[in-house]
Amino acid sequence: MTGPDDVAARLRAAGCVWAEDEATLLREASGSDAELDALVARRVSGEPLELVLGWVAFLGLRLRVAPGTFVPRRRTELLARTARREAGRRAGDPVVVEMCCGVGPVAAALEGLPGTVHAADLDDVALACARVNAPSARIHRGDLYDALPDDLAGRVDVLVANAPYVPTRRIASMPPEAREHEPLVALDGGADGVDVHRRLAAGAPAWLAPGGVVLVETSPAQLPLTLAALADAGLDVSSVRDDDVGGCVAVGVSRSAAGPA
């Protein structure tokens, strides 16, 4: 039988800083010594703990994740909290869209609140997780706005996205857990990190309701570029920061109604 000290020792030798805590979680996730050994072997090989466990903690929830999906970070809790606040400001049943949703952390954070939530992504594995994490959300597959039903044009109250924002040149310096186990499309934001942000911003006015808001997670370094993209789209811009979780969100507000071009 594999003892807790043995598991922690193996994890510690592999460089896991919180070896004892991880050992406890892996033991809880396993139904037998053989299964525990398999999980520990995956973790020792460098696979992120969350993917080994099959879940990640997020705003008090346990969200399903799977190998090959992007693991929501704690900093994205600011994006989800801001989306909840903005949706709560709308009268009636607001329409919220989580673009580039991955496993749907923002949609999951909106479960049980008034309104209709849509979530869209390109990846089938991530969308399968999103369906579990946000069972009330309407799930769509496709590239950005191509994924959305036409009847949402001009009706979206809150458009939220954690799109990739790592500059291409910095991918190689990311921790191996991310660059070797998470999809490149969820990490690589192009030369300056905001290629997808520009596409999101350019298309947003056609989908937003009057006074609708766009919320885009970004980094402090990319924030001026993300705000510029939103401003270029005719939106009034601001930002929200939470240094406790390392979160940074660019905000753009629609001034008037718009329809698709």
**C-alpha span between 129 and 65 (Å, rounded):** 6
Instruction: Give the residue among 105, 152, 104 at the shortest CA–CA distance from 128.
Output: 104
Beta strands in the chain (DSSP E): 55-58, 61-64, 95-99, 116-121, 138-141, 156-161, 208-217, 236-242, 247-253
Angle at alpha carbon of residue 157, lines to 154 and 161, rounded to 5°: 105
Rounded to whole angstroms, what are the CA distances from 243 to 47, 58, 193? 27, 17, 21
What domains, with CATH codes, occur in the chain? Answer: 4-64 (no CATH), 76-253 (3.40.50.150)
The predicted pLDDT at position 261 comes to: 34
**For the segment 186-245, what is each residue's pLDDT rounded down to a tens digit?**
999 999 999 999 999 999 999 999 999 999 999 999 999 999 999 999 999 999 999 999
**C-alpha span between 128 and 201 (Å, rounded):** 27
In DSSP terms, 147 is beta-bridged to none
In DSSP terms, 121 is beta-bridged to 141
Task: Decide: helix, strand or coil at residue 94.
Answer: coil
Distance separating the N- and C-terminal Cα atoms of the chain: 65
The predicted pLDDT at position 2 comes to: 55
The predicted pLDDT at position 259 comes to: 40
Rounded to whole angstroms, what are the CA distances from 36 to 11, 164, 237? 12, 34, 49
The predicted pLDDT at position 184 comes to: 87
Q: Which residues of the chain have pLDDT under 50?
A: 1, 257-261
Quick one: which H or E segment has residue 224? Answer: helix 223-232
- Tokens, residue 250: 């660019």
The predicted pLDDT at position 51 comes to: 95
Burial tier of 91 (Cβ tally within 10 Å: 0-12, 13-18, 19+)? exposed
The predicted pLDDT at position 177 comes to: 83
Place of tokens 């099959």: 54
Quick one: which H or E segment has residue 11? Answer: helix 4-13
Beta strands in 53-151 (DSSP E): 55-58, 61-64, 95-99, 116-121, 138-141
**C-alpha span between 129 and 230 (Å, rounded):** 30
> How many CB atoms are located within 10 Å of the residue 62 CB?
13
Identify the DSSP state of 73.
P
pTM: 0.91
